[in-house]
A and B are shown apart, each in its own frame.
Chain A
Amino acid sequence: MNARILPYVLILPVTLFLGVFFLYPFVLVAQQAFSTGDGFTLDNFRDVVSYWKFPISLKNTLLLAALVVPLQLALSLLMATMVSRMHRGRDMVLYIWTIPLGISDLAAGIIWLAIFEQSGFLNSMMSGLGVIDRPMNLLSYQHPGIVFLAIALAEIWRATAIMLVILVAGIGLIPKEYYEAAEVFGASRWKQFLRITLPMLRPSLQTALILRVVLAFEVFAVVAALGGTLFPVLMGEIYSYQFDLQNNGAAAALALIVLAISIFFTLIILRVLRVPKGASI
């Protein structure tokens, strides 16, 4: 086949598929959000925003992302630099650290439930140490801080691995000569990290952060497993609009709000970590 047409033939299936199952549904959801049956309206948005749970779930979602993502960034940077200096046992350590990559948010929620539930391992440890004499119901409305902490820990535990993989791959692409030169000039490890690793890692940092931030706004099953209704988040509200209340318009409107927030933060990350043209390795 002609080499001019061939690439288009090869990308045709993906394009068609994404057209039907990505772009078309996107148009549909926008339509749904802006109509209640008769013409263009903002009623759905008004309903969703004025519902008493909206400010709380928006606040919870943003707060969780604001706590979890920076911690994950720091943790994955630390782990990635540790791994890059490792000689023995590198593969083993990397495998262990990337295990959570394959674990779903629901499973992670259940795993941390084993620790935080009333007869769970945290209570067992605390009573073993004599801190408490009766198991406490940690995941209850009396302890909103602990519910938040449990959800944050489960998220950090589960989703740091994806950032780690992206950063380790990025560090692997940095030429060794840079570090050797820095060594010759007597730059400390910390200086090397600040002056070589961080700037050269910018494209990977960008990908990792965008992926994580977008996923942080989609937090859902971890919360369902650990907090239930104690900790409303945006995705959970979309689910209950769609599923419990059967209000498609409201669900669509809220989904668009989540999308707008995601795009807003994606643009910020792209701007802050922009890679100068032609500067990549």
Chain B
Amino acid sequence: MTDSVAIAAPAGSTRKAGRYVYAASVFLLCAWVIVPLYFLFINTLSSPETVNSFPKSFVPEFDLGSLTFFAGFNGMLTALKNSILVAGMTMVLSIVIGAPAGYALSRFDFRGKELFRMLVLLTRAFPLPLLALPLAVLFIRTGLDDTAFGLALVHTTLAIPFAVLITFSLFSGIPIELEEAAWTLGCTRFTAFTKVVLPLILPGITASAIFAFVISWNEVFAAAVLTIENRTLPAFLLQTLGEAPLHLKFAGGFILVLPALIFIFAVRKYLFAMWGIANR
């Protein structure tokens, strides 16, 4: 459609110029995202001396000095392990708890549905400290303070609204007729779900689980307030920001960014479908 209009237009040269401006803007905006990441990448793959020197070279020297320093820094690897552990638990918890509710929202009309939707959405519109501050007190009482599981519970609270809304839109994408056909062929509601719906929906569920992982992986405030010994990587980095040497910060930043790049690539197909329906 665009092309035919462009050819038919009498002012062909302005159209052409317009297209160059368009292409240039796309390119510039891509550069705007990538160039800062590239700078972090250069710093991570340079020796600590280079990171602290001036002026900076714009090509990485592929020296693993900063990364080895990071790995050897006291507490860093434990923090990395904690991050993975907490994010893994958040992933499982938010799907196991959230997906049934997503299914209920997409398949049933029930009293209190709107109220329930409101409660879920409200969770996202609230500032986080409101949860982290009192939970610190609550966790000390129950012995959950400073544990990976306690932190995972808080991160699950953050991830659950997304899990519910995303699975809701995924289930809505599968026609109920499929399930009904399975029922007439002798399936119960449960076996129809496990044999027909689940295989279709599994990739989407994985995508939303990854989303939950990223939310937990990136969260700083609650992690910093709720843990002391068992810090996650972001909380540990935050704590050392003041005194840590530059190359440690950059290597830490790089480790934080790396899984995010992979995960966004893995879920890219679902990103837009998730939000399309989740908004309404």
A residues touching B (Cβ–Cβ < 8 Å)? Answer: 1, 3-4, 6-8, 10-11, 13-15, 17-18, 21-22, 24-26, 28-29, 32, 78-79, 82, 85-87, 91, 93-107, 110-115, 117-121, 123-124, 127-128, 135, 157, 165-166, 168-170, 172-173, 180, 183, 203-204, 207, 210-211, 214, 217-218, 220-221, 224-225, 228, 235, 238-239, 242-243, 248, 251-252, 255-256, 258-259, 262-263, 266, 280
Which of A14, A180, A224, A225 counts the most chain B CB atoms within 10 A? A14
B-chain residues with CB within 8 Å of residue A113 when the two chains form the complex: 249-250
Closest to A263 in B: B125
B116 in contact (CB, < 8 A) = yes
Interface string of B254-275 (1 = CB under 8 A from A): 0011011101110010011111
A22 with B221: CB separation less than 8 A: no
- A127 to B53 CA separation, bound complex (whole angstroms): 14
B218 in contact (CB, < 8 A) = yes
Task: Give 18 pairs: A residue, B residue, CB < 8 Å, sorted on A.
Answer: A6-B104, A10-B104, A11-B100, A11-B101, A11-B116, A13-B100, A14-B97, A14-B160, A25-B138, A101-B271, A103-B256, A107-B256, A113-B249, A114-B36, A169-B279, A180-B1, A214-B124, A218-B128
B36 with A157: CB separation less than 8 A: yes
- A59 to B217 CA separation, bound complex (whole angstroms): 30
Nearest Cβ on chain A to B162's Cβ, whole angstroms? 11
Closest to A166 in B: B275
A-chain residues with CB within 8 Å of residue B120 when the two chains form the complex: 14, 18
- A168 to B249 CA separation, bound complex (whole angstroms): 34
B73 in contact (CB, < 8 A) = no
A14 with B127: CB separation less than 8 A: no
B-chain residues with CB within 8 Å of residue A203 when the two chains form the complex: 279-280
B129 in contact (CB, < 8 A) = yes
Given A95-B264, A214-B127, 4 additional A-B pairs, CB 8 A = A6-B104, A110-B40, A170-B275, A224-B241
Nearest Cβ on chain A to B209's Cβ, whole angstroms? 14
- A199 to B33 CA separation, bound complex (whole angstroms): 29
- A189 to B153 CA separation, bound complex (whole angstroms): 48
Prevailing SS type, chain A contact patch = helix
A106 with B234: CB separation less than 8 A: yes
Nearest Cβ on chain B to A138's Cβ, whole angstroms? 13
Among B86-136, those with CB < 8 Å from A are 96-98, 100-101, 103-105, 107-108, 110, 113, 116, 119-120, 123-131, 133-136
| Top-5 shortest CB links A-B | A102-B260, A104-B218, A110-B253, A28-B134, A10-B104
B195 in contact (CB, < 8 A) = no
B-chain residues with CB within 8 Å of residue A214 when the two chains form the complex: 124-127
Given contacts A7-B104, A14-B101, A102-B264, contact A28 B127 (CB under 8 A): no
Which of A87, A239, A266 counts the most chain B CB atoms within 10 A? A239
Given contacts A21-B156, A251-B133, contact A107 B253 (CB under 8 A): yes
B205 in contact (CB, < 8 A) = no
B43 in contact (CB, < 8 A) = yes
B34 with A96: CB separation less than 8 A: yes
Closest to B34 in A: A96
A-chain residues with CB within 8 Å of residue B76 when the two chains form the complex: none
- A224 to B136 CA separation, bound complex (whole angstroms): 22
Given contacts A6-B108, A7-B110, A252-B133, contact A114 B30 (CB under 8 A): no
A29 with B220: CB separation less than 8 A: no
- A172 to B134 CA separation, bound complex (whole angstroms): 41
Among B30-81, those with CB < 8 Å from A are 30, 32-34, 36-37, 39-40, 43, 51-56, 58
Closest to A256 in B: B130
B218 with A82: CB separation less than 8 A: no
B192 in contact (CB, < 8 A) = no
Q: Interface stretch among B21-29, B173-181, B196-204? A: B21-29
A258 with B129: CB separation less than 8 A: yes
B-chain residues with CB within 8 Å of residue A78 when the two chains form the complex: 25
A18 with B39: CB separation less than 8 A: no
A106 with B160: CB separation less than 8 A: no
- A113 to B156 CA separation, bound complex (whole angstroms): 30
B218 with A107: CB separation less than 8 A: yes
Nearest Cβ on chain A to B201's Cβ, whole angstroms? 15
Closest to A281 in B: B280
Given contacts A214-B125, A228-B241, contact A85 B40 (CB under 8 A): no
B104 with A119: CB separation less than 8 A: no
- A219 to B113 CA separation, bound complex (whole angstroms): 33
- A6 to B131 CA separation, bound complex (whole angstroms): 30
- A256 to B134 CA separation, bound complex (whole angstroms): 12
Nearest Cβ on chain B to A251's Cβ, whole angstroms? 6
